[in-house]
């Protein structure tokens, strides 16, 4: 039975460094996927962006991406893909756009889907990263589209992850990718600080 989820490994021989909480190299003993769930428009992406900033403020490096919405005349007109590691943005989906990759009334840019999947697959083994964020996993992925190709890789990767999952689909997503969520957070109930503290405690991350 695994008792400790992950731990810090000493990487220097200098005795003084043994007590420096920021000299760390995390080794993960088991797959850890945290879930953030909530209804559409409940603030999941906003919480993730705030959480990524808290990670950086604690000298931890988040990877993956968020998918903030775009708006036109008070209605959601599309989504962007925000690469958290390289701070790049790509158009992800647009209302009324036609094409092979469609969900609801949104058409997805296939080039951006390819960028996002390659990004996740590459970052799953990037030793610089402390956390990988995926925004979001839903019916599109359950039908083998969207981020499904990279989720097959991530569900077996030994890096802590946060997946946003549409309300009502948490059990289905966990069963589909065969994992037990480390913890389930609910938007808008949770604050970014509370989510970070829970994750940091589970992963033994150094906290400033």
pLDDT in tens, 157-167: 999 999 999 89
Task: Take residue 45 and report the two structure tokens written for it.
Answer: 């992406």
Task: Take residue 42 and report the two structure tokens written for it.
Answer: 């409940």
Query: Could you give the percent of the chain with pLDDT greater than 90?
Result: 71
44: how many CB neighbours lie within 10 A of its CB? 26
Task: Take residue 141 and report the two structure tokens written for it.
Answer: 């992925």
Contact between 184 and 170 (Cβ < 8 Å): yes
For 20-45, how does the pLDDT look when each residue is reduced to its tens digit (9 = 90+)?
Answer: 434 444 444 467 999 999 998 899 99
Report the CATH superfamily, name and number, of domain 31-203: P-loop containing nucleotide triphosphate hydrolases (3.40.50.300)
Round to whole Å and give the CA distance between 173 and 142. 7
Q: Where are the domains of the chain?
A: 31-203
Which pLDDT score, from 0 to 100, does residue 106 have? Answer: 82
Which pLDDT score, from 0 to 100, does residue 143 have? Answer: 93
Cα angle 50, 185, 51 (rounded to 5 degrees) comes to 15
For 114-153, how does the pLDDT look when each residue is reduced to its tens digit (9 = 90+)?
Answer: 999 999 999 999 999 999 999 999 999 999 999 999 999 9
Round to whole Å and give the CA distance between 43 and 189. 10
Q: What average pLDDT does range 182-186 have in this prediction?
A: 96
Contact between 80 and 89 (Cβ < 8 Å): yes
Could you identify the residue written with the tokens 């509370």?
194
Which pLDDT score, from 0 to 100, does residue 206 have? Answer: 81
Which pLDDT score, from 0 to 100, does residue 40 have? Answer: 85
Confidence of residue 18 (pLDDT cuts 50, 70, 90): very low
117: how many CB neighbours lie within 10 A of its CB? 17
The alpha carbons of the chain give a radius of gyration, in whole angstroms, of 17
What stretch of H or E contains 6?
strand 6-8
Which pLDDT score, from 0 to 100, does residue 103 have? Answer: 64
For 79-115, how does the pLDDT look when each residue is reduced to its tens digit (9 = 90+)?
Answer: 999 999 999 999 999 987 776 576 677 899 999 999 9
């Amino acid at each position: 039975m695994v008792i400790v989820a992950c731990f810090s490994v000493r990487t220097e021989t200098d005795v003084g460094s043994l007590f420096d909480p920021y000299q760390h190299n995390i080794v993960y003993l088991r797959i850890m996927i945290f879930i953030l769930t909530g209804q559409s428009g409940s603030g999941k992406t906003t919480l993730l962006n705030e959480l990524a900033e808290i990670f950086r403020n604690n000298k931890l490096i988040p990877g993956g991406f968020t998918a903030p919405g775009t708006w036109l005349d008070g209605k959601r007109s599309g989504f962007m893909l925000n690469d958290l590691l390289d701070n790049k943005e790509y158009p992800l989906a647009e209302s009324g756009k036609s094409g092979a990759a469609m969900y609801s009334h949104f058409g997805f840019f296939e080039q951006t889907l390819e960028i996002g999947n390659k990004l996740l697959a590459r970052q799953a083994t990037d030793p610089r990263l402390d956390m990988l964020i995926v925004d979001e996993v839903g019916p599109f992925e359950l039908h083998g589209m969207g981020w499904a190709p990279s989720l097959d890789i991530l569900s077996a990767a030994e890096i802590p992850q946060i997946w946003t999952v549409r309300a009502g689909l948490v059990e289905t997503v966990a069963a589909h990718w065969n994992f037990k969520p480390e913890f389930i957070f609910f938007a808008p109930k949770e604050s970014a600080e509370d989510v970070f503290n829970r994750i940091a405690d589970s992963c033994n991350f150094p906290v400033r």
